[in-house]
Amino acid sequence: MYVRGLELVDFRSYARVVVELGPGPCVLVGPNGVGKTNLVEALAYVATLESHRVATDAPLVRFGTARAVIRCAVVHEERELLIELSIEPGKANRARLGRSPVTRTRDILGALRLVLFAPEDLSLIRGDPSERRRYLDELLVARQPRFAGVRSDYDRVLKQRNALLRSAYLARKTGGSRGGDLSTLDVWDAHLARHGAQLVRARLDLVAGLAPHVAKAYSAVSASRSDARISYAPSFGLQDDLEQALLAALSESRPSEIERGVTLVGPHRDELTLTLGEMPAKGYASHGESWSYALALRLAAYDLLRDDGIEPVLILDDVFAELDAGRRDRLAALVGEASQVVVTCAVEDDVPAGLRGARFLVGGGEVQRV
């Protein structure tokens, strides 16, 4: 799989730009701040329907305009598919596949398989558990797009349940005699347990398949003898029937949840544990080790997707400037044979010779192939 062409209209800093790409390495060169990351962010948005840089869609739309449009031509097994997204903050986004509208925007998920490594990925190692949960769920959806619906259903139920707990908490704090009406809490527990069990089971299976790839990728990138290991740490006790286990945990934690006004157990509280040797990576890994670990997580995702039978597009956004010469060369050797690698850089000499394929100059709102 590779991206043949990308067109942006009123996306980020671009009024309109068209980029003709191709298989193999594609290097986007230009000073910092000229829009290189905006281009790869648009590609990643097509693949995930999320930005890796911001939490909402509003910053994606060029200032002073009402909507942004992304058009992306993807080639897989010699067949080309046009994907079009219209991003309209405050309204439902719209999408087309092959020029035909889709019922739901998430129906385009899976049309472009892509793995992006960016400087923000250091938060996978150093950041909050939510960053690692997001990593798992994005990979889960990339492999099985139906889980976008499972995530959406779980988030909807969690929001409703938290609203019920919060209203009861506020009623009690303001002197309500009964502390709010919790008569429907059992119903929301059942919904949360059903959707949550599906999500946890899928994450457990994903981590089991991902773990050997992470260990292999870390060893290859870092040339270190330390083992990189990942494991899933749930917020409740596991058993064969995950739905019943989550229901039991919700029942047990109910007094504390009512006291605090928030749901305390479920996949939104779980953790992906990262260790390096015998120590947790967070707080103990050096800067270089953290970069290597973050790279290993993304390369492991790439390998797992490739094992599914469709080789994804790989994007390395401003990566090589942060790596020493040894790590640069080892990374280039690992990804040099990928069907398409899109690299962004401010200094072309930072990119190893094995990845210097098609070259594009980015600046002044334009992208020129040279």
Q: Which tens digits make up the pLDDT trace of 148-203?
A: 999 999 999 999 999 999 988 888 777 665 556 787 899 999 999 999 999 999 99
Same domain, 9 and 146: no
pTM given for the model: 0.91
Which of these, 304, 307, 353, 363, lies nearest to 331 by C-alpha position? 353
Q: Which of 265, 288, 309 is the last residue of a domain?
A: 309
Task: Give the whole-number percent of the chain exceeding pLDDT 70.
Answer: 98
Q: What is the pLDDT of residue 115?
A: 95
Same domain, 141 and 264: yes
The helix/strand count (H/E) of the chain reads as: 8, 15
Q: Any long-range contacts for 284-291 (C-beta under 8 Å, 24+ apart)?
A: 285/125, 288/222, 288/324, 288/327, 289/222, 289/224, 289/226, 290/122, 290/125, 290/126, 291/122, 291/322, 291/323, 291/327
User: Token pair for residue 62?
Assistant: 């060029």
List C-alpha distances in Å: 2 to 74, 138, 318. 6, 19, 20
Per-residue pLDDT 10s for the chain (370 aa) are 999 999 999 999 999 999 999 999 999 999 998 999 999 999 999 999 999 999 899 999 999 999 999 999 999 988 999 999 999 998 999 999 998 999 999 999 999 999 999 989 999 999 999 999 999 999 999 999 999 999 999 999 999 999 999 988 888 777 665 556 787 899 999 999 999 999 999 999 999 999 999 999 999 988 877 899 999 999 999 888 999 999 999 999 999 999 999 999 999 999 999 999 889 999 999 988 999 999 999 999 999 999 988 899 999 999 888 888 888 888 888 888 889 999 999 988 888 888 888 999 999 889 999 8
- Do 114 and 317 form a contact (C-beta atoms < 8 A)? no
pLDDT tens-digit map of 26-54: 999 999 989 999 999 999 999 999 999 99
Q: What is the pLDDT of residue 198?
A: 96
Distance CA 248, CA 328 (A): 49
Which of these, 122, 120, 126, lies nearest to 282 by C-alpha position? 126
Same domain, 33 and 104: yes
> Kind of pairing, strands 14-20 and 271-276?
unpaired
Same domain, 258 and 220: yes
Q: Which of 309, 331, 351 is the last residue of a domain?
A: 309
Alpha helices (H) in the chain, listed in sequence order:
36-48, 123-126, 129-143, 147-173, 185-222, 242-260, 287-307, 325-335
Residue type, 23: P
Same domain, 208 and 140: yes
Distance CA 138, CA 140 (A): 5
Binding residues for ATP: 30-37
Q: What is the pLDDT of residue 321?
A: 83
Same domain, 159 and 11: no
50: domain CATH number is 3.40.50.300
Binding residues: 30-37
Question: Going along 40-78, which residue ranges are E strands?
Answer: 68-76
CA dihedral 10, 11, 14, 17 (to 10 degrees): -90
Same domain, 106 and 126: no
Total count of domains within the chain: 2
Q: What is the pLDDT of residue 68?
A: 96
Q: Which of 309, 329, 358 is the last residue of a domain?
A: 309
Average pLDDT, rounded, for the chain = 92
Same domain, 289 and 329: no
Q: What is the pLDDT of residue 178?
A: 56
Same domain, 25 and 94: yes
User: 215: helix, coil or strand?
Assistant: helix
Q: What is the pLDDT of residue 334?
A: 87
What single DSSP character describes residue 138? H
Q: What is the pLDDT of residue 176?
A: 60
Domain residues for the domain of 213 are: 121-309
212: domain CATH number is 1.20.1050.90
Same domain, 305 and 317: no
Backbone angles phi, psi at 72, to 5 degrees: -140, 125
Same domain, 276 and 364: no
User: 29: helix, coil or strand?
Assistant: strand
Same domain, 221 and 273: yes
Q: What is the pLDDT of residue 322?
A: 80
